[in-house]
Amino acid sequence: MSATALIVIDAQESFRHRPYFREDDLARYVERQQALVDGAATSGLPVVQIFHVEDEGPFAEASGLVTTLRPLRIAPAATFLKRRHSALVGSGFDVWLVANGIRRLIISGIRTEQCCETTTRHASDLGYAVDYVGEATLTFAMVDAAGRMWSPAELRARTELVLAGRFARIATVEQALAAQPDKLAA
């Protein structure tokens, strides 16, 4: 198995049932996420799918919405359920990474500045090499305490700014798929 794994975080139907969900950037996200998934499969990289779960609402397993966001097609090597922002907390994902000799993670999914960013920071602190593929993440507008509306593009730019060179290499789909672990900086 490869020492690199593609991680698809929270790309699930649950989000369509949240009041902030918008389809504005959905087509772009799906295209880039699918290109990353397909490229990983072609390259022999394991694809790991992470789903966020809660006890009630659209993120509850009983809702039937904890399924892959349509129209994405993912055939994961492993699937994990998480209840925290970091996919590495309490899901068993961390154990799977060690058992499979994974040393490099390619991070993608939903939401850019929340679970994707948190998992990136956590993985970096644990010593993993991380490629953060912002173009294969999706988020939604947010309003800060001062009343300013942050667009998805602004949130993505902010996330990439704070992660770059500190916690991850910011990469395009093509760059992430072309990278070789032995050529990455520690």
Q: Are the CB atoms for 30 and 136 separated by under 8 Å?
A: no
Handedness of CA 13, 77, 56, 29 (dihedral sign): negative
Q: In Å, how far are 28, 33, 62, 63, 145 from 73, measured between CA atoms?
A: 15, 10, 22, 20, 37
pLDDT, tens digit only, all 186 positions of the chain? 689 999 999 999 999 999 999 999 999 999 999 999 999 999 999 999 999 999 999 999 999 999 999 999 999 999 999 999 999 999 999 999 999 999 999 999 999 999 999 999 999 999 999 999 999 999 999 999 999 999 999 999 999 999 999 999 999 999 999 986 544 443
Q: What pLDDT shows up at residue 2?
A: 84
What does 33-98 look like in DSSP terms, one character per residue? HHHHHHHHHHHT--EEEEEE--SSGGGSGGGT--SBPTT-----SEEEEESSSSTTSSSSHHHHHH
Sequence ranges of the domains in the chain:
4-179
Q: What pLDDT shows up at residue 179?
A: 83
pTM (global) more than 0.85: yes
Q: What pLDDT shows up at residue 141?
A: 97
Q: Are the CB atoms for 93 and 122 separated by under 8 Å?
A: no
Between 3.40.50.970, 3.40.50.300, 3.40.50.2020, 3.40.50.850, what CATH number should domain 4-179 receive? 3.40.50.850
